[in-house]
Structure 1
């Protein structure tokens, strides 16, 4: 049974790395219905398809038919594999999904800024724009994605804000992965906009063997909601992360810290 909507808080069910293939047809509707029943908004953190094909996107769109709440998503690297991410976005948008790529939206008083993000490493291990043209292009892509996130965050005028990514903005939530692949799992360049435009929480995927929760340098919670990670770390529980924020009017009356439930 769906939980009744709360007058004081809004609930987000977040999950990424679903990696839908044609063989998933008819297998995910119950999962998405469960997430929909538990929350007021469904957040999808990229790698929604396995090879980024139109066929896979159509399967996902059909499976999302069981969702009765707003859906907000970003794409991931797998959604770009076939070279037609715009087709994946078009199919999902037609199904009612708000797919963000440097854009923002507002749902029930909470602002959501979204971008895919990119790789490049963290802190002193970040790849610098120096040397061969290919390296400079790689770093430029990371900078462009960070600028997309910043542009989306700058558009928000709500007091409650969430950032939606595929790649991680911090090293904390990729801990558990082999250290040699850390540079390919995210970039500190994505953390910089989050420091200039504070948010209440960040959600991402991509690191299947990472850590579920860590924090930015200014204390903002970051959640790695890759579905394979949630399945492994929380056996017997539904593989989505449930997060609650006070509604704007409730927060104005009595400011409170965001609550999370698992």
Structure 2
């Protein structure tokens, strides 16, 4: 039997590219291309969701010679330019995942932005005013999109190793460190359901800048908060977390 190729993943979230960041990421993207097989960008790619910021990032990514997979974050939605930002990044070769899936080597990747809603017994329920129900429904929808993408990967190969890419957290452990009152806005346990059910190897997210680097779901799936501020605080000189599958 042929030995399967090991895939080295590099991941980072919350890079918050500004208009004046031209040249700031070029060396980082060159270096990570030498050390990994695929790069995951876990949302908040731009600082305020402006087209000009996406254009800077697209130019910086020219230095990256490995596949780049990404989800958008809340900051990328801020100026309601999601379609324009998505087009710019796709033209730069980025594979944007929003309920979608792709494969690199023998690893399947599925991604959604995710949403808030709280964790475990403090998770918000579908009750009360319509605005509250809409908030909860958004997290439900994101969970369903993720489950559908993972199901497609299962249908292609039931034994495929699967990795999930998010912006919002699927578990509470990786947002711990943030003020507890804002936890419901940092992620939702509903996102963990398809991760547990579909035998995912690992999940990566960002969003919580002062959260915790590593945790796991109730089924033992590794979850990594790869927000750039957390990686920097942990002493990563190259602002990427590496994980081998």
1:5-57 alpha-carbon deviations (Å, 9 max, x no partner): x9741101100100001011111111111211110101100000011111111
- Of the three residues 47, 51, 66, the one matched with 2:48 is 51
1:200-248 alpha-carbon deviations (Å, 9 max, x no partner): 110000010011011011111000000011011225x211101111xxx
Match of 1:242 in 2: 242
Match of 1:113 in 2: 110
Gaps of 5+ in 1: 1-5, 246-262
Give distance in 1, aligned partners of 2:141 and 2:172: 20
Contact 2:44 2:74 in 1 (8 A): yes
Match of 2:139 in 1: 142
Match of 2:152 in 1: 155
Give distance in 2, aligned partners of 1:119 and 1:153: 20
Match of 1:220 in 2: 221
Measured after TM superposition, the shift of residue 143 of structure 1 is: 0.7
- Of the three residues 49, 72, 93, the one matched with 1:75 is 72
Gaps of 5+ in 2: none
Match of 2:84 in 1: 87
Give distance in 1, aligned partners of 2:239 and 2:191: 25
Give distance in 1, aligned partners of 2:90 and 2:67: 12
Give distance in 2, aligned partners of 1:108 and 1:8: 7
Match of 2:234 in 1: 233
Measured after TM superposition, the shift of residue 190 of structure 1 is: 0.2
Helix, strand or coil: the match of 1:23? Answer: coil
RMSD between superposed Cα atoms in Å: 1.2
The TM-score, its normalising length taken from structure 1, stands at: 0.89
Give distance in 1, aligned partners of 2:145 and 2:75: 19
Give distance in 1, aligned partners of 2:82 and 2:222: 29
The TM-score, its normalising length taken from structure 2, stands at: 0.95
Q: What is the aligned residue count?
A: 239
Give distance in 1, aligned partners of 2:77 and 2:235: 29
**Deviation >3 Å, runs of 4+:** none
